């Protein structure tokens, strides 16, 4: 074997050993930050080291601080695993090392993105004429879509924002729900609109936007307006009523942007598609492939119903360079990046390996596990389920904040499973997000049992 072949084979073996250990290893990282620094910090190497040693030592030292995110018992934040085909395709993407900014630097990467853009629109119920971009995550997908929105609402009042900037532009109003994700605010900051542009719309007890208040706010002013709705609130999994919001916006000229970071995947399941009803009437949509589609980080997706707005906001060419209809797709025209990773390969592999039915099954299975969690946890003494379990999120607490925090800490320290805490309506709560293809019924049983033990120990 050549040295390079031996290195790659050895690395694949280390990776497979890690996957095999998932059932038995603790889910949280084992090492403290101090231990990690001791294990990893060393003086800047003066001389070369053999690559096999580099990888073996990195794997041994780095493993101390690796969180078991690919485990079926990792329920933190909203974090998916990686389906095997996507993981393998991601290795291939690194091996091929294409620069997916220009067709010329990776023709297959460019065409694969065309293909997955089309597949994703079909799968997620996005209109076929929409444009798309694969970006690092939902954060940058928001920045991309809201840049297109900014272009459109200002063009409507005769302002070319790409050329004239914002310093003396007509103000833009952003109407967004009180339970919007923080990445909406940051996208507005990055785009120079500022969080001060937000007029917040109240949310109900599940985090859904109040439609009557939205309607009243829209009636207040007719200037350039962007509305940000959400499909899938991070604590409860609740959905804004897309159809009602689209109805209220009809004829107002406001741009409707939809944050569907994980909730948009409900559209891929017959059993859950009713939750997104009417979402196809939006002007732009964002979601994450690295959440529920289970491709490795990083992969967010932006869709825009007005391709000319999207392109005008992102392109790095002059507008007069109109391309022939059969022209190649240079990704730089649609993304905020220039040089970029060929993210399309992993998405392509995930969608091919799962198929429509596999994605639907993944969504339905995770939601079923969430329901089982709800049933199992509700039987524990003092446990209160706080959300309507409509999707894959379960929000709950115990009799008071101190008990809730103590139970969460005990479960986390047990190593059996990991999930994050949150605040909900002024009180401590625990949230479980089932987003990993690997999670099975045994994982749910083991995790509920870990909670039962924690409650027992605290009560004793």
Ligand X SMILES: *Cc1c(COP(=O)(O)O)cnc(C)c1O
Residues that bind ligand X (CB under 6 A): 78, 137-139, 181, 183, 232, 234, 259, 261-262, 288, 300
Cβ closest to ligand X, residue 161 vs residue 419? 419
Q: By C-alpha distance, which of 24, 19, 145 is closest to 437?
A: 19
Compute the least distance from the CB of residue 369 to ligand X, in Å.
Answer: 18
Compute the least distance from the CB of residue 138 to ligand X, in Å.
Answer: 3
Compute the least distance from the CB of residue 133 to ligand X, in Å.
Answer: 14
30-55 burial, b if ≥16 CB within 10 A, otherwise e?
A: ebeeeebeebeeeeeeeeeeeeeeeb
Compute the least distance from the CB of residue 422 to ligand X, in Å.
Answer: 12
168 Cβ contact partners less than 8 Å away, ≥ 6 residues apart: none
DSSP string, 80-142: ----HHHHHHHHHHHHHT--TTSGGG-HHHHHHHHHHHHHHHHHHT--TT-EEEEESSHHHHH
Give one word for 285, left, alpha or beta, with left for phi > 0 and alpha for psi -120 to 50: beta
Q: Any bridge partners for residue 135, and if so which?
A: 300
Q: By C-alpha distance, which of 317, 245, 332, 318 is closest to 282?
A: 245
Cβ closest to ligand X, residue 294 vs residue 403? 294
Cβ closest to ligand X, residue 386 vs residue 450? 386
| Maximum Cα interatomic distance, the chain, rounded to a whole number of Å | 75
Cβ closest to ligand X, residue 139 vs residue 294? 139
Residues 185 and 193: beta-carbon distance below 8 Å? no
Cβ closest to ligand X, residue 80 vs residue 374? 80
Helix (H) / strand (E) element for 3: namely: helix 3-20
State the residue number with the nearest CB to ligand X.
137
Cβ closest to ligand X, residue 52 vs residue 241? 241
d(CA 338, CA 162): 17
Compute the least distance from the CB of residue 135 to ligand X, in Å.
Answer: 9
d(CA 252, CA 312): 23
Cβ closest to ligand X, residue 179 vs residue 329? 179
The SS3 of residue 395 is strand
Cβ closest to ligand X, residue 295 vs residue 408? 295
Cβ closest to ligand X, residue 187 vs residue 314? 187
Compute the least distance from the CB of residue 30 to ligand X, in Å.
Answer: 25
Torsion from C-alpha of 78, 255, 171, 240, nearest 10 degrees: -40
The count of other CB atoms within 10 Å of the CB of residue 401 is: 14
């Amino acid at each position: 074997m050549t040295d390079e072949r031996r290195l790659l084979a050895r690395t694949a073996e280390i990776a497979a050993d890690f996957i095999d250990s998932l059932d038995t290893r603790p889910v949280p990282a084992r090492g403290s930050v101090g231990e990690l620094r001791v294990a990893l910090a060393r003086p800047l190497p003066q001389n070369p080291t053999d690559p096999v040693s580099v990888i073996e030592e990195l794997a041994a030292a780095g493993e101390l601080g690796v969180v078991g995110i690919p485990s079926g018992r990792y329920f933190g934040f909203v974090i998916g695993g990686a389906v095997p085909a996507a993981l393998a395709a991601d290795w291939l993407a690194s091996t091929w090392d294409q620069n997916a900014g220009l067709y010329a630097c990776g023709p297959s990467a460019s065409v694969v993105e065309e293909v997955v853009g089309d597949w994703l629109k079909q799968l997620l119920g996005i209109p076929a004429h929409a444009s798309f971009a694969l970006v690092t995550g939902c954060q940058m997908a928001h920045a991309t879509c809201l840049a297109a929105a900014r272009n459109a609402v200002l063009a409507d009042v005769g302002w070319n924002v790409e050329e004239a900037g914002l310093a003396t532009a007509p103000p833009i109003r952003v109407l967004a729900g009180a339970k919007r994700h923080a990445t909406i605010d940051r996208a507005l900051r990055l785009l120079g609109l500022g969080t001060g542009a937000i007029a917040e719309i109240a949310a109900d007890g599940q985090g859904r936007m109040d439609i009557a208040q939205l309607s009243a706010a829209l009636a207040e002013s007719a200037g350039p307006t962007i509305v940000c709705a959400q499909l899938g609130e991070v604590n409860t999994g609740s959905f804004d009523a897309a159809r009602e919001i689209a109805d209220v916006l009809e004829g107002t000229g406001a741009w409707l942007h939809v944050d569907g970071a994980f909730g948009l995947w409900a559209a891929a399941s017959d059993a859950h598609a009713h939750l997104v009803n009417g979402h196809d009437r939006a002007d732009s949509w964002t979601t994450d492939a690295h959440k529920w589609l289970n491709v490795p980080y990083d992969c967010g997706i932006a869709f825009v119903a007005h391709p000319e707005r999207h392109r005008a906001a992102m392109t790095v060419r002059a507008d007069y360079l109109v391309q022939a209809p059969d022209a190649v797709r240079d990704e730089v025209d649609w993304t905020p990046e220039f040089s970029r990773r060929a993210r399309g390969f992993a998405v392509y592999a995930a969608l091919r390996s799962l198929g429509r039915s596999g994605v639907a099954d993944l969504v339905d299975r995770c939601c079923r596990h969430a329901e089982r969690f709800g049933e199992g946890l509700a039987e524990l003494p003092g446990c209160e389920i706080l959300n309507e379990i409509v999707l894959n999120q379960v929000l709950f607490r115990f009799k008071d904040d101190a008990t809730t925090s103590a139970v969460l800490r005990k479960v986390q320290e047990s190593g059996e499973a990991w999930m994050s805490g949150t605040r909900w309506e002024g009180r401590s709560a625990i949230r479980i997000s089932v987003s990993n293809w690997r999670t099975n019924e045994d994982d749910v049983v083991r995790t509920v049992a870990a909670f039962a033990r924690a409650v027992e120990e605290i009560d004793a």
